[in-house]
Structure 1
């Protein structure tokens, strides 16, 4: 193999191993054996495990960023749900690697790792904003989108710890979370209210956002009864 071809092979092998187990548990000897080469040859291409680890994280970060790319066609709710499905596909396939990327792993606090994490978050933010297609977005919309990206990341990390909630439910819940964040901001800002109205105008009743409205309406009578009961008690 040529130099670059061998480097890419080693990165791929390392990423596969890091995706199956914590990077701390994977040795250079294992990477060399999986690649079918000697340990000294690994060091010929990478100065140490840390540099190989960062190269593998960089590839994972680039792949993760692509999961947020979605054609700007159809209702926003359906688009976001497809994005969440691809996002959780990645999380499911690369659990330990995803945790290492977002939590820092052996490189926690390093400038390189922090930059890669920021790049993924920025790519996700830009993709979501492009779907909203608003020339001059309200300040609160920027807060909503960035908060939602962070929420998706935190939710995925917590899900990996026990996988106690079905994936499909979390994917849909995160889409509903986006709508809820927008709705709360709309209560405080006319610009956000206009954004929400514009989104809902293009949403079918059977879509994710329509389903959220249906769920809220179903529990509304129970909530109101409790409010009234509490008021009488007080």
Structure 2
């Protein structure tokens, strides 16, 4: 009785050290993108990459933690490039293009992005926190460059850095609670947030006022800034009327008499 020949296993491709390492990082990043880091094992990575677990250890002897940090570095490189673009055209359009890149990353990496920023992962360490903080610093520095203020003072720096934090928070809320809202609407709202934050800071800080004047010179008539001003003018008129009248009831009465 002849024995059946063994079925061939998946073809194993020999790759250079650099290409194999890159393949394992890319595979891990795809898995971390759609699962919390603690839910991804080295066996999962090996299986998805079509290699053995010992081979994964050969390239990442530090195990899952080392592989996670390598994948995180790869993701950080993509994020750091979001706002890196030629300083040409309206500032508001540049911000929108940068946010398009950022939000595309958020959509693609979904659960992994949320796990990364929310923290609490079993693989979160001072090293991973430093990687994430580095992305924030690079993104802020790119915005400062677009504002032609590469070494900003404390108030301008606070305005931009708090906006970076708001972008992260809004992205997480959108992922968790607001997916029906078009991502383009989220992008435009975030652009408006920075423009208004800069305007508010400029009213109190000379350096920010100079940066706003430089940025305003790049804008086009009828563009994003003009549209924002028209929308906000009506809102501030309501604020001013309500403040002078002292109550919303009186404001309602005024609006009724005018209609």
TM-score normalised by structure 1 residue count: 0.90
Which has the larger displacement, 133-142 or 160-169?
A: 133-142
Within 5 Å, give how 1:120-139 maps onto structure 2: 120-134=135-149, 137-139=152-154
Query: Is the contact made by 1:175 and 1:208 (CA closer than 8 Å) also made in structure 2?
Result: no
In structure 2, the residue matched to 1:226 is 242
Unaligned runs of 5+ in 1: none
Structure 2 unaligned spans of 5+: 1-14, 251-259
In the TM superposition, what whole-angstrom CA distance separates every residue of 1:73-117 from its partner, at most 9, and x where no partner exists? 011011101111111001110112222332343322x12101101
Partner of 2:157: 142
1:192 positional shift? 2.3
1:107 alignment partner, SS class: coil
* 1:17 counterpart (31, 38, 59): 31
For 1:137 and 1:158, locate their aligned partners in 2 and report how far apart those are by CA, in whole Å.
29
CA contact (8 A) 2:143 2:160 kept: yes
Write the distance in 2 (CA, Å) between the matches of 1:117 and 1:161. 20
- Whether 1:38 aligns to 2:55 is no
Which stretch of structure 1 is more off in the superposition, 184-193 or 9-18?
184-193
1:49 aligned residue: 64
Q: Deviations over 1:112-158 (max 9, x none)?
A: 10110121011101111111113664431111111111111111122
Aligned CA RMSD, in angstroms, stands at 2.1
Equivalence for 2:3: none
Alignment of 1:93-112 (within 5 A): 93-104=108-119, 105-108=121-124, 110-112=125-127
Computing the radius of gyration over CA atoms, which structure comes out larger, 1 or 2? 2
What is the deviation of 1:195?
2.5
CA distance in 2, matches of 1:92, 1:146: 22
Contact 2:147 2:214 (C-alpha < 8 Å) held by counterparts = no
